[in-house]
Each structure stands twice: as C-alpha cells, then as structure tokens.
C-alpha cells in the first residue's frame, strides 16, 4: 500500500473517532408539554392536527358517543406484568414488566464519590436511580391509548373514545396458572362490539378477539383496525445503537421506519406477518390471524404521536349475524427463545444484522456457560478462551509466517532497489522469493480475518441481547451491555494492544510501521463507547494473544 494512502486512511479514521467520542452528542429527549384532549378519534386526526369527519358509507351513520358513565380502570395482575386497561376505548393505559427495571439498580452515577469515600476523600451521595419497572405504554395526556380498535371505511363505526362495559373490575392471575378473560362490550347504532382479551400467566402473549354483532336486519360492512399509539420525539427516538419506532414484517422481510422520516401515512402490505413498535430491548407487537389480508399503516401527527395501525380485510356481515377478527399480542422483552416460540418470525425483530448466524450461537453458548459460572462477564472470558483455543493452530501459523516474512524483508528491499523503475518485475521477483522460501504472505492475515466475524457476532450479541442488559461483572462494571463508566477497561485494552503490536514482527517500510503503531490508539478510541462486555472480550483476547506470541517467539528463537 502506498505510504500516503495509508497515512490518509489513518488520519481519516482518527478524525472520525475523535469526532464521535468528543464532539458528537446523542440527542437528549425533551419533555413535551401535555396535549389537550380531543374529542375527535385519533384515527381521524390529520398531520396538521385539524380534526376530520369520519368516513362512512351507506345510510347508517354513527351518532356522537354519549358517555353515560365516566371511564374506569381495570387492573390485570400476572406474575410477569401489571396492566391497566380503561373502559374508554377498551384500551391499554399502562403495562409494567415486573422482571425489568428502567435503570440498572447497581449502576449508580455516584460510583466515583463512593470510591473517594472508601479512602476518606468525600461523602457518598444518594443514588439518582429509580426502582421503576419498564413501562411499555408511552403516551401524553390527551392522546388515545394503545390497542384501541377503529373501523375505517365501515358502514357503521364506533369511536375509539367510546366507553365500554366490562365483565370484571379486576383480574389477578398470580394465584394460579389458569388463563382468564377480560371482556369489553359496547352496543350502539345497531351493532355490538366485543373485545375479548385472554391472558396467560405463563407468558407475555395475549389473544384478542374483536367480535362484531350485526343487530339489525340490514347487512353491514366492517373493516377493523387495531392501533398502537406511542409518543416518540423524532429527534430522540433513535440513537446510534438502537431503533425506537415502528418495525414490521411483510412477506418475511423486516422493515424499520425512522420516526423523523415518518411525515405522512406510510402503508405496507398485504401479507403482513406482524407489526410492532420497538425499543432496543422491548417490543409491543400485534400478529393478525390472516396476514395475506392485512395491511399496516404508520403515521406521525403534529404532536409526535406515532400510530402503527393494523388494517384488516373488509367483511360483509348479514343481518342478525356476527364476525370475529382475531389477533395475538406480544407485549414484553425481546428475548430470543421467547419470541421464537411464537412461530411467526418475531425473533427477527432483534437486530442481530448480517452476523445473526454467529450472534445467536454465541448467545446460546453464553447462556450455557452462565449456568455454570453464574456471571455473564466470567462467561465471556471463558468463551474467549474457548475461541482462542480453537484458533490456536492458525495463530501459530500466522506468527511463524510473519517471522519468516521479517527475515525476507532485507531481500525484498534489495529487489525494490534493484528494479525500482519496474513495478511488475518487483512483483514477479518478490513472489519468486516467497516460493523459494515457502512463505505464504497471506497466512499472517488469516487469523485476523477470521476474528473479524467473531468480533462482530459477539458485538451484536452483547449489544442487543436482553440477557446482558444490566448484567454485572464486578465492582464498577455493573452493566455489560453499557460502556465502562470510567473507561478503565478500554485503556487497559489499548495498552495490551500496544504490547501485542510491539511483539509482532515488524514488516513494511518505516512509515507503514509507524502507522501500525497508531492502531492501538485508534482501537482505544473506538472501544470507549462499546459495551463493557465486548471490551472485556477483546482485552482478554489480547492477553491470550500476548501469551501465544511469547510462546511462539521463544520456540522460534531456539
């Protein structure tokens, strides 16, 4: 490689890294002002915020809803979550996951004062962390609640703000393992709507049946729409490492929609397997009974309310008969095994990327090892050791090849001097020299090339697997999925990279050797904001590599 090209690439990477670490600041979510409630159904709001009249066909129209009784809250307790439904819209007001906290309970921001306090250097401050459970519902005051059912383009419709009657005031599924149903019903304009939720205490999946009864003698047409509403600031909805927004599966292909790019109505389908609103570790998904007859709509209004709507097929309901529209809901963590058991490819919502074929096996191995060592950080170290043992022969071959290349370096320089005006001749003579001494110049790069997929596979595992979320190693490293708060492990990793670089036989001209010495510095900057678990993997790999280099160099010296 030309000296100037190598230097230019190195400088460009250095500028990029320095900008990312010191100058780029992820957007900070802004506290939005509470919005005033609107009497207009959310499905009929336009992006300008101006209410629009609901579209109806036929002679029958739905009169304005008269709320004879104020809305009531219905609590549902299961071993895994606490949910609150409202009789207004028979919608979901809150769902808190009991096994997951908003903040890492051991990752307080006052670790440094605690360390100083150990040595008499100050007092310990109160931890700013909360013990709130993860909340899946995120809407502002006045916004409609998720899981509201609308009837677009229907001959007879019910407002999503209508107040339903309910079969129970409270459900408690913690006492036994039986499934229980919560039924909401509403009768108006010659139709009766029933929303039947069936809760399973053993999981996060819930079935939803929407029954439409035609109480008149005239046939009616119905097109149900199931909606998830979410407040999402477009400037803070996504970060560099996570997507917060709509994600859908259409024809087996995963599509993610950036909130800031969602200005009008976006329609996908048919053949919608599932539609969801996701964060990095959690997801609220709806799965239709008939994917081939289902479309997905995604909108964002002037108040930054994002709507992910699942629109079913048009169905004619004769007089005196009824029709049923069935959905499955999954409201919970993005846990690979749990999502896979649903059987509709919902596990693909975990962003393992191109290296899913390595990330998923790594997750299984880490879970297996954690069962023995009881700590994911120790499991990462054990996994790194296993990988190093597997690649040990390739490492030995690489170091031997680099030593042989180093011995040939004076002869190669002599060829360059002898044929300095004929690059083709230099190449031919150099390859002849390699063949004469039985040296393969590519064998020195082979172990590094193999490690790159391993690195990215484990990176995806540690970054997006919820099992690593808030999982500790020791002392100041209490979250392996987050960066080291004091940058201790990245700095030690950079030092180990430098030692390994010095032990590697130097090849190329002096300029190239100096550029290679910058690699540890660049790696250190890169790893400052990487997950602590990934830094531990690379650090321990460097330590094992130094040991292997010492062993090979000592053996070759004899």
Residue scoring higher pLDDT (467 or 128)? 467
**122 Rama sector, left if φ>0, alpha if ψ -120 to 50, beta otherwise:** left
Instruction: Render 514-537 in DSSP notation, one character per residue.
Output: HHHHTHHHHHHHHHTTS-HHHHHH
541 touches 384 (CB < 8 A)? yes
Q: How far is Cα 163 from Cα 157, in angstroms, rounded to an integer?
A: 14
User: Is the predicted pLDDT of residue 534 greater than 60, yes or no?
Assistant: yes
352 touches 336 (CB < 8 A)? no
Lowest pLDDT segment from 102-111, 182-191, 339-348, 482-491: 102-111
pLDDT at residue 160 in the model: 78
Average pLDDT over residues 240-259: 86
Share of the chain above pLDDT 70, in %: 78
Average pLDDT over residues 242-256: 89
Query: Residue 205: which pLDDT band, with cuts at 50, 70 and 90?
Result: very high
User: Is the predicted pLDDT of residue 183 greater than 80, yes or no?
Assistant: yes
Domains and CATH numbers, the chain: 3-23+356-557 (no CATH), 144-351 (2.70.98.90)
As to burial, measured by CB atoms within 10 angstroms (0-12 exposed, 13-18 middle, 19+ buried), residue 277 is buried
pLDDT at residue 162 in the model: 86
As to burial, measured by CB atoms within 10 angstroms (0-12 exposed, 13-18 middle, 19+ buried), residue 116 is middle
Q: Which tens digits make up the pLDDT trace of 261-304?
A: 887 778 887 889 999 999 999 999 999 988 888 888 898 888 88
């Amino acid at each position: 490689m030309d000296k100037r090209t190598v230097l230019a690439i190195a400088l460009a990477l250095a500028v990029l890294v320095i900008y990312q670490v010191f100058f780029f600041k992820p957007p900070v979510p802004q506290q939005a002002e509470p919005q005033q409630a609107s009497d207009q159904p959310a499905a009929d709001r336009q992006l300008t915020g101006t209410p629009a009249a609901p579209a109806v066909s036929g002679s029958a129209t739905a009169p304005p809803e008269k709320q004879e009784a104020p809305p009531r809250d219905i609590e549902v307790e299961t071993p895994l979550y606490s949910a609150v439904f409202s009789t207004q819209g028979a919608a979901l007001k809150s769902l808190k996951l009991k096994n997951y906290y908003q903040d890492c309970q051991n990752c307080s921001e006052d670790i440094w004062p605690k360390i100083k306090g150990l040595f008499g250097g100050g007092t310990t401050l109160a931890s700013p962390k909360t013990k709130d459970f993860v909340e899946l519902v995120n809407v502002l005051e006045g916004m409609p609640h998720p899981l509201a059912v609308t009837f677009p383009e229907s001959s007879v419709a019910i407002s999503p703000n209508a107040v339903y009657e309910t079969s129970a005031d409270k459900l408690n599924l913690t006492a036994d393992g039986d499934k229980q149903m919560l039924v909401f019903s509403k009768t108006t304009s010659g139709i009766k709507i029933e929303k039947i939720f069936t809760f399973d205490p053993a999981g996060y999946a819930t079935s939803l049946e929407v029954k439409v009864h035609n109480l008149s003698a005239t046939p009616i047409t119905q097109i149900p729409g199931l909606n998830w509403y979410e407040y999402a600031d477009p400037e803070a909805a996504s970060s560099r490492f996570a997507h917060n927004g709509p994600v859908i599966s259409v024809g087996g292909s995963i599509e993610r929609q950036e909130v800031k790019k969602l200005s009008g109505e976006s329609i996908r389908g048919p053949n919608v397997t599932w539609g969801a609103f996701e964060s990095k570790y959690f997801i609220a998904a709806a799965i239709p009974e008939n994917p081939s007859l289902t479309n997905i709509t995604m909108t964002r209004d002037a108040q930054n309310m994002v709507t992910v709507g699942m629109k079913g097929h048009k169905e004619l309901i004769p007089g005196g008969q009824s029709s049923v529209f069935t959905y499955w809901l999954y409201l919970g963590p993005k846990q690979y095994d749990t999502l896979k058991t649903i059987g509709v490819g919902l596990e693909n919502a975990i962003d393992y990327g191109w290296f899913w074929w390595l990330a998923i096996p790594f997750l299984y191995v880490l879970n297996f090892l954690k069962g023995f060592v009881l700590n994911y950080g120790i499991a990462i170290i054990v996994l790194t050791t296993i990988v190093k043992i597997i690649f040990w022969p390739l490492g030995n071959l690489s170091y031997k090849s680099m030593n042989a290349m180093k011995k040939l370096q004076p002869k190669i320089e002599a060829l360059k001097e002898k044929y300095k005006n004929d690059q083709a001749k230099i190449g031919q003579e150099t390859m002849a020299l390699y063949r004469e001494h039985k040296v393969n110049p590519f064998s020195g790069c082979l172990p590094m090339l193999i490690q790159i997929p391993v690195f990215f596979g484990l990176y995806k595992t540690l970054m997006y697997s919820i099992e690593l979320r808030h999982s500790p190693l020791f002392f100041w490293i209490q979250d392996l999925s987050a960066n080291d708060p004091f940058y201790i492990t990245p700095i030690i990793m950079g030092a180990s990279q430098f030692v390994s670089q010095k032990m590697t036989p130097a090849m190329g001209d002096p300029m190239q050797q100096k550029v290679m010495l910058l690699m540890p510095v660049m790696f250190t900057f890169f790893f400052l904001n990487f997950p602590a678990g990934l830094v531990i993997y690379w650090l321990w790999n460097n330590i094992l590599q130094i040991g292997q280099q010492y062993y090979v160099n000592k053996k070759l010296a004899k």
